């Protein structure tokens, strides 16, 4: 449940974060005002958030690791660090894809949700640099286990998004496929 006056975390992130083991190390990349970072810390994850401006995160001292860093300029501020999950929402900076993907530990999750190119038809962001092309997240996760992927329209607020839940190869049991339960479906099984 979100705190009063705080934005609600994405249901995509909260849904798939449930696959993580208790206490997992989770990075919220470009965490902004910390809506996911707060949720992750409140649910017992070892949460790390990084953003260029961390002033909205001061209340999280002692609950999460807060890093101030520019993800788009200078050296990669997370070199050599890996997490059981990396969360990215409403952020896209293609020149750092390789470093972002390297932050996901073998067997770890990438939970990503951001705007697709169709967003430009209804509002901001509208610059192509900040919008995913059709199937772009799938292409970026080639060779990973795609557990879930969506590309479409969400309402309230209206937006076009792509989102993916993908697992990096090389988990604890090589050669044995991991079992990642899919959410309950209300469709009858016949």
What confidence score (pLDDT) does residue 2 get? 46
183 domain-assigned: no
pLDDT of residue 187: 43
Question: In this predicted model, which residue has the larger pLDDT, 181 or 116?
Answer: 116
Considering the chain, what is the average pLDDT of its residues? 90
As for how many domains the chain has, the answer is 1
Q: Under a CB-based contact definition with an 8 Å cutoff, are residues 163 and 150 in contact?
A: yes
Residue at 5 is within a domain: no
Residue 186 lies in a domain: no
Higher-pLDDT residue of 181 and 38 is 38
CATH number, residue 151: 3.40.50.150
Position 37 in a domain: yes
Q: Is residue 48 pLDDT above 50, yes or no?
A: yes
Q: What is the pLDDT of residue 188?
A: 43
> Domain range spanning residue 71?
11-167
Three-class SS state of 99: helix
What's residue 56's pLDDT?
A: 94
66 forms beta bridges with 49
Give the mean model confidence (pLDDT) for residues 46-75: 95
Domain annotation covers residue 176: no
**Within a domain: 179:** no
CB 131 within 8 A of CB 117: yes
Instruction: Give, in order, the Cα–Cα distances in Å from 126 to each of 84, 94, 165, 171.
Output: 32, 16, 24, 38
Is 172 within a domain? no
Task: Report how far apart, in Å, the C-alpha atoms of 59 and of each of 36, 97, 171, 186 are.
Answer: 14, 30, 34, 40
HEC letters along 21-42? CCCCEEEEECCCCCHHHHHHHH
pLDDT category, 104, cuts 50, 70, 90? very high
How crowded is the C-beta side of 124, counted as CA atoms within 13 Å?
A: 0
Is 41 inside a domain boundary? Answer: yes
CB atoms within 10 A of CB 14: 15
Tens-place pLDDT, residues 135-161? 999 999 999 999 999 999 999 889 999
């Amino acid at each position: 449940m979100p705190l009063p006056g705080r934005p609600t975390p994405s249901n995509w992130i909260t849904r798939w974060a449930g696959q993580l083991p208790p206490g997992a190390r989770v990075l919220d990349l470009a965490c902004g005002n910390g809506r996911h970072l707060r949720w992750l810390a409140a649910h017992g994850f070892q949460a790390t958030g990084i953003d260029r401006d961390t002033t909205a995160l001061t209340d999280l001292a002692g609950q999460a690791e807060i890093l101030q860093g520019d993800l788009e300029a200078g050296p990669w501020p997370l070199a050599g660090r890996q997490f059981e999950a990396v969360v990215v929402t409403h952020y896209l900076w293609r020149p750092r894809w390789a470093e972002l993907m390297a932050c996901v530990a073998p067997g770890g999750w990438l939970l990503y949700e951001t705007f697709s190119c169709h967003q430009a038809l209804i509002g901001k962001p509208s610059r192509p640099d900040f919008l995913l092309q059709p199937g772009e997240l799938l292409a970026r996760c080639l060779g990973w286990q795609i557990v879930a992927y969506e590309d479409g329209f969400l309402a309230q607020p209206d937006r076009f998004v792509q989102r993916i839940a993908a697992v990096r190869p090389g988990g604890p049991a090589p050669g044995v496929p991991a079992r990642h339960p899919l959410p309950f479906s209300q469709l009858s099984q016949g």
